[in-house]
């Protein structure tokens, strides 16, 4: 995809995501900053902030778990390289702890694909598996939404016993819900 393609897709994805009832009523949203050619999230993060939503963003810990910090606009992000892994934009402010995600009304998840049952395929690092397990242990059930390109919605992805389905996938062409 060209940079223009990524930008156009990000704008469309943001527009569809902002129409979700879950996000319309959310007070706290745990999200992420997209990297590389992932579907762009910055426009969505800024739109949520403009609505008065508290946006939490992850900071990768050495064990691949995630800490969280508040997003206060593009100036509140700094590039961080974790070993040989890709560079991530992370919040520069106060760290809120790994359990901060349990206060989110909606969790926006990255992924490689989602299938017709709502099962999400992650990148394999286990960071979001830990997040989902933390939500389960806390007994909270925020809406889980994955942000992908249209061609990343597939017939079937492998799953493991700890995997949880997402409620919806948002792509540049629209929203698909799962039961």
Where is the binding site for ATP, in residues?
120-128
The C-alpha atoms of residue 141 and residue 143 are separated, in whole angstroms, by 6
The C-alpha atoms of residue 106 and residue 26 are separated, in whole angstroms, by 7
Please report, in range form, the residues annotated as the binding site for substrate.
Answer: 33, 38
The C-alpha atoms of residue 80 and residue 160 are separated, in whole angstroms, by 30
For β-strands 143-147 and 168-171, DSSP reports them as parallel
Please report, in range form, the residues annotated as the binding site.
Answer: 33, 38, 120-128
The C-alpha atoms of residue 105 and residue 79 are separated, in whole angstroms, by 27
Nearest alpha-carbon partner for 143 in 158, 132, 134: 132
């Amino acid at each position: 995809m060209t940079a223009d393609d990524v930008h156009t897709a990000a704008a469309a994805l943001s527009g569809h995501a902002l129409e979700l009832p879950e996000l319309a009523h959310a007070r706290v949203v745990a999200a992420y900053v997209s990297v590389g050619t992932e579907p762009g999230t910055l426009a969505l993060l800024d739109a949520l902030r403009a609505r008065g939503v508290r946006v939490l963003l992850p900071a990768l810990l050495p064990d691949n778990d995630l800490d969280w910090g508040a997003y206060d606009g593009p100036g509140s992000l700094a590039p961080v390289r974790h070993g040989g892994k890709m560079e991530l934009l992370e919040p520069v402010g106060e760290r809120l702890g790994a359990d901060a995600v349990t206060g989110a009304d909606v969790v926006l998840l990255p992924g490689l694909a989602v299938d017709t049952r709502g099962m999400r395929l992650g990148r394999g690092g286990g960071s979001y598996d830990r997040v989902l397990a933390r939500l389960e242990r806390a007994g909270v059930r925020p809406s889980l939404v994955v942000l992908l390109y249209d061609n990343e919605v597939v017939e079937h992805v492998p799953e493991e016993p700890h995997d949880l389905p997402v409620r919806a996938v948002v792509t540049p062409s629209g929203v698909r819900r799962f039961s």
